[in-house]
Structure formats: C-alpha cells, structure tokens
Amino acid sequence: MTDSAKGHAPILAAGGIVLRGNAKPRFAVVRMRREKAWVLPKGKLLPREHPRDAAKREVLEETGHDVSVHKFLGSVAYPADGRIKIVQFWLMRAIGPRGRELSDDVKAVKWLPLKQAIETLSRPHEKVFLTHVGPMALQAVRKPARGTSRVSRRDASKRRSPVAPATVIAMDYEKTRPNAFVKAVSNWIGARRAG
C-alpha cells in the first residue's frame, strides 16, 4: 500500500457491547486515562486480525473480563485523526469475576443499567449507537431458553423487534466535509437497508 493510500484508508477497530448479570443486566463503560472520556470498550485491529478476535482481545484488556462473544450488533463510523474510523461491535457476556488488571490506558470500568450507561458515555455517536443496540442486547440476553415458554409463535413474533445490525455515521460538519469515502459508506448502508 502506498503512503497516500495509507493516509486515506480508514482506521479499523472493534469492540463489545458487554453485559454482565442475568436478572438486571449491566453494560460496561470504560474511562480512558488520557482523555478522561467514558467510552464503550474497543480498540484498533492488529494487522490481519479478524474484527471479532480484536473485539474480544480489546474488551479483555479494557474491562479485565473474559467474555463470550455472541451476535454482531453493528458499526459506527466517525472522523478521527483526519481519517474515518470504523468500529464494529459484538454483543458479549462477561464470564465470571474480573480476571486481569486493566490496560494502562483505562482508568476505571463501570457496570451500569442501559439508560445510565447511555447518559455516562462522553461521545455523542456512542450514545446514539448504544441507544439503538442496547435494547436488542437486552432482548438477546433475556430471551428464555428454547422450549421453556408456552407463548405461541404468533404472539412471540409480535413482540420481536428487528434484529438488523445498527450503523451510525457521526459527522461533525464544522470540522469535516463529506468526502468520497463517507458518501460511499452512506450509499452502501442505504443499499443494505433497501435489499
């Protein structure tokens, strides 16, 4: 890849919408040491690393918890360091107590109910994303095991919300003008939703 291609290539990252607890599931939010911002646990992909593997690695580093990885929830794209950063998120469940120390760039982890987690997040695009995918995550973890419910299929289908992954593109038009990449991502998202 040429230097000019690297300069325009998006920054690829992955993370988790991490829950723990069964009766009252709580969402993980982490406080970054340098920025002092509350964010969703995530980080950049290593070369040739699959996004799902990167998400699991980053969540372990930032929350100290091993996790089970479940379904893909969606992605967020936003400007960062003069480029576009694309973060893919998976639904994850914390396994057991914290098993390792937090990475150096993380100051603290909070486990909060959905509404409080959304309010605590510092970045507007993450607030919007969690507002969209948080209810799907709760629905997925509260789902009864197969065959344990006597609710008819017709009644159950009425209560189900769409399970399509969410995509949020955050643009600060004061700082960033839509470029060809953002337009292409927007067109791609529109085509996926139409199809």
Model confidence pLDDT, tens digit, residues 19-74: 998 889 999 999 998 888 999 999 999 999 999 999 999 999 999 999 999 999 99
Q: Collect all residues with Cβ–Cβ distance below 8 Å to 67 and sequence separation of at least 6.
A: 16, 18, 56, 59, 60, 92, 93, 94, 95
- Does residue 195 lie within any of the structural domains? no
Domain that holds residue 113: 3-143+156-187
- Does residue 170 lie within any of the structural domains? yes
- Does residue 30 lie within any of the structural domains? yes
144 or 112, higher pLDDT: 112
Segment (H or E) for 139: helix 124-142
Helix, strand, or coil here: 185? helix
- Does residue 57 lie within any of the structural domains? yes
Provide the number of structural domains found in the chain.
Answer: 1
- Does residue 149 lie within any of the structural domains? no
- Does residue 9 lie within any of the structural domains? yes
State phi, psi for 76 to the nearest 5 degrees: -130, 140
Six token digits for residue 12: 């690829």
pLDDT at position 178, please?
52
pLDDT band at 174 (very low <50, low <70, confident <90, very high): very low
pLDDT at position 33, please?
86
- Does residue 50 lie within any of the structural domains? yes
- Does residue 89 lie within any of the structural domains? yes
Q: For the domain that residue 52 is a member of, what is the CATH number?
A: 3.90.79.10
Model confidence pLDDT, tens digit, residues 79-98: 888 889 999 999 999 998 77
User: pTM for this structure?
Assistant: 0.75
- Relative to beta strand 83-95, strand 38-39 is unpaired
